[in-house]
Amino acid sequence: MKAAWYSRNGEAQDVMEVGDLPTLSPQPGEVLVRLATSGVNPSDVKSRRARPLSDPLVVPHSDGAGVIEAVGDGVPVSRLGERVWVCNGQWQRPMGTCAQFIALAAAQAVTLPEGTDFAAGACMGIPGLTAVQAVILAERLGGDLRGQNVLVTGASSAVGHYITQMVTQAGGRVIGTVGSEAKAAHAQAAGMQDAVFYKTESVPQRVKALTQGRGADVIIDMDFSTTAGWASEGALAPHGQVVCYGSNALEVPLPFRPWLYQSMGVKFFLVYDLTPADRQTAVARLSGMLAAGQLQHSIGARYTLDQVAQAHRTVEAGQTVGNVVIEL
């Protein structure tokens, strides 16, 4: 099979290789998926640059979509020919989705409705599941989102774009941080009501102005290293909740007194490591939205497998609005 891989850490143009690798066979409990698309996410490029290799080579990327071509023992043959999206393709293993085929546990290949194309399917594993799990946790911690003010950091990002849609559909008011007018327009098309330009204005002051001084009821956050301070400065209402799935810094000082005195809470989660019950709930909810055609999908750039290094550089640049996908 044709695939892309790297054997050492470094810049994409220096370490990415494209060539032929043996096609894998599905083991018991696995399916073999002929991939049509592979999604490129920030975690993929961070791993390529800095995560030590434990195997001779790594075929990157966790997300993708395609058709089941073979099944291992214990998997119903009725799944042959099924359109699927896959998740956790390269989580704790070397063989990801940047190849024509991937063999993985049957549960990691989820039915893709006929009305959803493979490019959108390649956005479900990390962006889609992160978004739906964040909203589920926001509802679990903060109650029904209808009528609540929800601050979505990075509202135009791959994950934030889906969160914005889901919160809006749940009846919440989305206040989103964005970095440009173009990104604001993208998030507003998904349902964001108010934009906060974090590069040029005080986020806490702007959020307080939009909420009559109270702050947001919930913050769904992609960068706790910044949001921890914003919350303590009034961006989060007393007894408010932060649901966080990322941080630009690994060491984050927390202003304890305002968090304690305003009884604010935070819940972290890693989309790769959901409990089986949480994953089942999130997948079911996301699948329902896809089947009902309730989600907008944004593909910002498409590349071929031979252009994998360029695809990685595009993600690293962070200027593209929408998801980056490789078509196989």
Task: Examine residue 282 and state whether it is found in any structural domain, yes or no.
Answer: no
Task: Examine residue 39 and state whether it is found in any structural domain, yes or no.
Answer: yes
Q: Say yes or no to pLDDT of 8 above 90.
A: yes
CB 66 within 8 A of CB 15: no
pLDDT score, position 318? 87
Place of tokens 């914005």: 164
Helix (H) or strand (E) holding 301: strand 299-304
Distances in whole angstroms, Cα of residue 241 to Cα of each of 10, 145, 161, 210: 38, 12, 20, 18
Tokens representing 20 are 């032929």
Which residues neighbour 240 within 8 Å (Cβ) at sequence distance 6 or greater? Answer: 142, 215, 216, 217, 218, 219, 231, 262, 264, 265
Q: Are 110 and 131 within one domain?
A: no
Task: Examine residue 284 and state whether it is found in any structural domain, yes or no.
Answer: no
Q: Are 182 and 237 within one domain?
A: yes
- Name the pLDDT band for 319 (thresholds 50, 70, 90): confident
Q: Are 87 and 29 within one domain?
A: yes
Tell me how many domains the chain contains: 2
Q: Are 228 and 304 within one domain?
A: no
**CATH number of the domain bearing residue 66:** 3.90.180.10
DSSP letter for each residue of 97-112:
SSBSEEEEEGGGEEE-
Q: Are 54 and 104 within one domain?
A: yes
pLDDT score, position 280? 97
Task: Examine residue 311 and state whether it is found in any structural domain, yes or no.
Answer: yes
Q: Say yes or no to pLDDT of 96 above 90.
A: yes
Q: What digits encode the pLDDT tens for the residues 201-242?
A: 999 999 999 999 999 999 999 999 999 999 999 999 999 999
Q: What digits encode the pLDDT tens for the residues 183-209?
A: 999 999 999 999 999 999 999 999 999
Tokens representing 73 are 């023992």
Mean of the pLDDT values across residues 71-90?
Answer: 98
With 0-12 / 13-18 / 19 or more C-beta atoms within 10 angstroms meaning exposed / middle / buried, residue 15 is: middle
Mean of the pLDDT values across residues 36-64?
Answer: 96
Q: What digits encode the pLDDT tens for the residues 151-163?
A: 999 999 999 999 9
The pLDDT > 90 percentage for the chain reads 98
Domain span at 84 = 2-123+297-327
Task: Examine residue 281 and state whether it is found in any structural domain, yes or no.
Answer: no
Q: Are 182 and 315 within one domain?
A: no
Q: Are 111 and 147 within one domain?
A: no
pLDDT score, position 51? 93
Task: Examine residue 280 and state whether it is found in any structural domain, yes or no.
Answer: no
Task: Examine residue 222 and state whether it is found in any structural domain, yes or no.
Answer: yes
